[in-house]
Amino acid sequence: MFKTMKYIEKAIIFLMIAFLTIILGLAIVDLGFFVFRQIFQTPFDGWYEADTLMPLFSAFLIIFIGIELLETIRMYVEKHEIHVELVILVAIIAIARKIIVLDYKYYSEWKILSIAGLLVALSVSYYLIKRAGIRIYKDKSEIPNSGDHEN
């Protein structure tokens, strides 16, 4: 039973990696076409304006989020651990992307404040986790100096 569950888990992880890799590859190709069009098919005057650059920055950050998700999956496959700081970092990048592409004219002050509060909460969480040096161990044999102490 557990052996079957392990095979299913490995198959799901493999499919997640494959799909995410395909999505990232397509996103890179799309980004390449977008940059090419911006450079060669639009007038050079004004290409650096916010309306033109925001979709470009958004695409870069989406790809970066995908890369971080791949890194999280890789860490899980290698160590069978989920590093909370990586997950929080992906969330911070996603919210930063939202802030960068946000059109403030269409959002209320409360919505903007709630996004800011969420970003602050995630940033504080990331800081505290990194500062505390929290690490998740699967069993006691992995804990440094676990055999040095007598019970």
For the entire predicted model, the pTM comes to 0.68
How high does pLDDT run on average in the chain? Answer: 81
State the residue for tokens 């939202």: 98
Report pLDDT for 8.
Answer: 92
Confidence of residue 41 (pLDDT cuts 50, 70, 90): confident
Name which of 48-62, 85-99, 117-131 the model is least confident about: 48-62
Confidence of residue 102 (pLDDT cuts 50, 70, 90): confident
Confidence of residue 121 (pLDDT cuts 50, 70, 90): very high
Report pLDDT for 150.
Answer: 46
68 CA to centre of own chain: 4
Q: Quick check: 72 and 82 in contact, CB under 8 A? A: yes
Which DSSP helix (H) or strand (E) runs through 10? helix 2-40
Confidence of residue 151 (pLDDT cuts 50, 70, 90): very low
Q: Quick check: 99 and 123 in contact, CB under 8 A? A: no
Q: Quick check: 85 and 68 in contact, CB under 8 A? A: no
Report pLDDT for 47.
Answer: 66
Has residue 21 got a pLDDT over 70? yes
Instruction: Tell me the angle at which helices 50-79 and 2-40 cross, rounded to the nearest 10 degrees.
Output: 160
Alpha carbon distance 69, 13 (integer Å) = 12
State the residue for tokens 């946000």: 102
10 CB-near residues (< 8 Å, 6+ apart): none
Alpha carbon distance 3, 108 (integer Å) = 52
Q: In 3D, which of 97, 94, 101 has the Cα closest to residue 122?
A: 94
